[in-house]
Amino acid sequence: MASLKSIKKRITTVKNSRQITKAMKMVAAAKLRRAQENVTAARPYARKLGSVLRKLATSGGESGHPLVQRENPGKALLVVITSDRGLCGSFNANISKTAERFILEKSADYDELSVMTIGRKGNEYLRHRTKIWKNYTNILSNLNYQTAALIAQEIIEGFLAGEYGEVHLLYNSFKSVMSQDITLVRLLPIAPPEGQEEEFRPEAIYEPAKEELLSELFPKHIEVQIFHALLESIAAEHGARMTAMDSATKNASVMIDKLTLQYNRARQAAITKELLEIISGAESIKG
């Protein structure tokens, strides 16, 4: 049986850990509130902009914009969004394993499949399993639209240069504090809407010209979609960390109760042993 001193030391250590996990849960809850507000505000705009532009891209049977064409169908790019920090349960492991599975399953479909990681955890997992073309770290803690726009411009430039013919985006979308949805979308080329045929399509007058309008809006659409995905991932990360730290705090409390019971039993055994020694000593003196 462990000594009283070692058990007491373990209890103190677990109590300190519980204080840390409880504080981290509170911090994650505060950050989640702000992140959830950002996601709620960004979702309607991102979805509607994507829907409108996909319809514009194919209206009138025209699809000649470069971002709608596959210049190099033999090459593809997978953009994987994870977090920079751990202690958020299976948040990073799930998305990283999904990316690995996508690479294994789709490698036969392409001559070359490149990977871009956003977040340190995804890079650490995938760099030992595939070649990382580009990695971005330390941008999620202070995310702004300009950063997302720069990433989008780099992706667009590579697509227009023919470095890859398809771009897929993989990230965790925020569903609730308890759960996140792994989301895989094709970012480029911009595809027409599926199963949304309208009975009435009014004639549209473009001002300025349609080509000029689309040349401005299509890159903006990619920027918005990446920014939206980053916001979703950040909110999902805080939700996962809040859940993980809450579970860790509860587990620490259970462990403290078990160790306290073990400590009391050990202490009682030590007292009983001392009493028996005293009684035995007294009996020997009488004898």
What lies within 8 Å, CB to CB, of 122 at 6+ separation is: 80, 81, 82, 92, 95, 96, 99
Residue with tokens 């202490």: 267
What lies within 8 Å, CB to CB, of 76 at 6+ separation is: 106, 109, 110, 112, 113, 114, 164, 165, 166, 167, 168
- What DSSP character marks residue 142? T
- Confidence (pLDDT) at 199: 44
Residue 172: phi and psi, rounded to 5, are -95, 120
- What DSSP character marks residue 163? S
Query: What's the fold here for domain 38-243?
Result: Pyruvate Kinase; Chain: A, domain 1 (3.40.1380)
4-22+244-286: CATH, from 1.10.1660.10, 2.30.40.10, 2.40.50.100, 1.10.287.80:
1.10.287.80
In tens, the pLDDT along 232-277 reads 999 999 999 999 999 999 999 999 999 999 999 888 888 888 888 7
Query: 174 forms bridges with which residues in the sheet?
Result: 180
> Is residue 92 a contact partner of residue 121, using CB atoms and an 8 Å limit?
yes
Q: Which amino acid is at 239?
A: G
Query: What's the rounded Cα separation, in Å, for the pair 254 and 247?
Result: 11
Q: Which residues are catalytic?
A: 88
Residue with tokens 């950002």: 38
- Confidence (pLDDT) at 194: 57
Domain boundary assignment for the chain? 4-22+244-286, 38-243
- Confidence (pLDDT) at 120: 95
In tens, the pLDDT along 40-80 reads 888 888 888 877 776 766 665 445 677 877 667 789 999 99
- Identical fold, 4-22+244-286 and 38-243: no
Residue 204: band (very low, low, confident or very high) from pLDDT cuts 50, 70, 90: low
